């Protein structure tokens, strides 16, 4: 798949999407929104992918919308629709999405991280939604951020446009793993390995259920849970987990 602003690679069941505009700190222009849509659709539709790592090339993860294009009046309104459409596809994809962040994680970069399942960041990483300083709205960060850190903190971050570092982001639940910048690559690889070992049908069904409670009442959610639990219980992965338990070994999910 030909992409202009990012690179997708895969090894077996694990994929890696790298934002690749390092000279611009991986700021995303309209082409970036188009590329993110193509990438999201490919990740969603690939039946063999189980886990995808999303990272940024160079000195930063992503600084969000390309301000040069925005200031020149060259960012079409479709940018915002395309970008958030891609994030929703990723959020609903039946894969584990891990976001590894360093340097700056701003605007659309943080919005992308919020659409992932697991977030890793360095202690000195700078995270924020500065759209208010540009007189615009920080996309559906306004929807996702309160779910992770609470409405009060989300309002403070959005309405101030201020950044927080990785350690503070970990303390308030915005990220899940904080790592040292000097060992960033090794720590990320170890965490990818950790999560990939437990990828199973149960993982897939659990992720989809975790996405639902904000959007449906208890009774409907309970019926959906029972349906997905039946799928997980009937899967080869569950049988392997039970065999591994009986044998006193770690399961090998396929």
Average pLDDT over residues 132-142: 92
- Percent of the chain whose predicted confidence (pLDDT) is above 90: 87
**For the purposes of burial, counting CB atoms within 10 Å of the CB of 70, is it exposed (0-12), middle (13-18) or buried (19 or more)?**
middle
Give yes or no for a contact between 75 and 69, defined as CB atoms under 8 angstroms apart: yes
pLDDT tens profile 231-240: 989 999 999 9
Q: Of 137, 116, 115, 114, whose CA–CA distance to 127 is shortest?
A: 114
161-201: pLDDT as tens digits: 999 999 999 999 999 999 999 999 999 999 999 999 999 99
* pLDDT score, position 215: 80
Where residue 219 falls among pLDDT bands split at 50, 70, 90?
confident
Write out the E strands in the chain. Answer: 6-11, 14-19, 51-56, 96-101, 104-106, 118-122, 126-128, 163-165, 177-179
227: which 2 tokens? 């349906």
Q: Is the separation of the CB atoms in 126 and 151 below 8 Å?
A: no
pLDDT band at 214 (very low <50, low <70, confident <90, very high): confident
Maximum Cα–Cα distance for the chain, whole Å? 64
pLDDT at 53: 98
**Whole-number pLDDT of residue 36:** 98
Highest average pLDDT, of 13-27, 69-83, 219-233, comes from: 13-27
Q: What is the pLDDT of residue 10?
A: 95
Distance of CA 14 to the CA centre of its chain: 15
How many other C-beta atoms are found inside a 10 Å radius of the C-beta of residue 212? Answer: 13
Supply 93's token pair.
């994809």
pLDDT at 2 over 90: no
**Nearest C-alpha neighbor of 192 from the set 99, 91, 60:** 99
For the cut 80, the answer to whether the pLDDT of residue 89 exceeds it is yes
- Which CATH architecture is the domain 6-197 placed in? Alpha-Beta Complex (3.90)
Query: With bands split at pLDDT 50, 70 and 90, how would you rate the model's confidence at 217?
Result: confident
């Amino acid at each position: 798949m030909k992409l202009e602003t990012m690179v997708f690679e895969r090894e077996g069941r694990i994929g890696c999407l790298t934002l690749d505009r390092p000279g611009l700190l991986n700021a995303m222009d309209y082409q970036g929104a188009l590329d993110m849509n193509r990438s999201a659709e490919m990740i969603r539709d690939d039946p063999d992918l189980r886990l995808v790592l999303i990272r940024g090339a160079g000195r930063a993860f992503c600084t969000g919308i390309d301000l040069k294009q925005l200031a020149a009046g060259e960012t079409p309104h479709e940018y915002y629709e395309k970008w958030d459409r891609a994030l929703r596809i990723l959020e609903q994809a039946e894969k584990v999405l891990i976001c590894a962040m360093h340097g700056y994680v701003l605007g659309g970069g943080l919005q992308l991280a919020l659409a992932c399942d697991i977030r890793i960041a360095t202690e000195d990483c700078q995270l924020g939604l500065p759209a208010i300083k540009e007189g615009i709205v920080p996309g559906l960060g306004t929807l996702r951020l309160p779910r992770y850190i609470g409405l009060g903190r989300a309002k403070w971050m959005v309405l101030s446009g201020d950044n927080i570092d990785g350690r503070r982001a970990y303390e308030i639940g915005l990220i899940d793993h904080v790592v040292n910048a000097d060992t960033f690559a090794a720590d990320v690889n170890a965490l990818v390995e950790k999560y990939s070992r437990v990828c199973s049908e149960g993982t897939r069904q659990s992720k989809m259920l975790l996405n639902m409670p904000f959007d449906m009442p208890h009774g409907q959610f309970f019926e959906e849970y029972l349906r997905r639990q039946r799928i997980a219980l009937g899967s080869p992965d569950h049988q392997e987990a039970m065999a591994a338990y009986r044998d006193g070994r770690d399961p090998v999910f396929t």
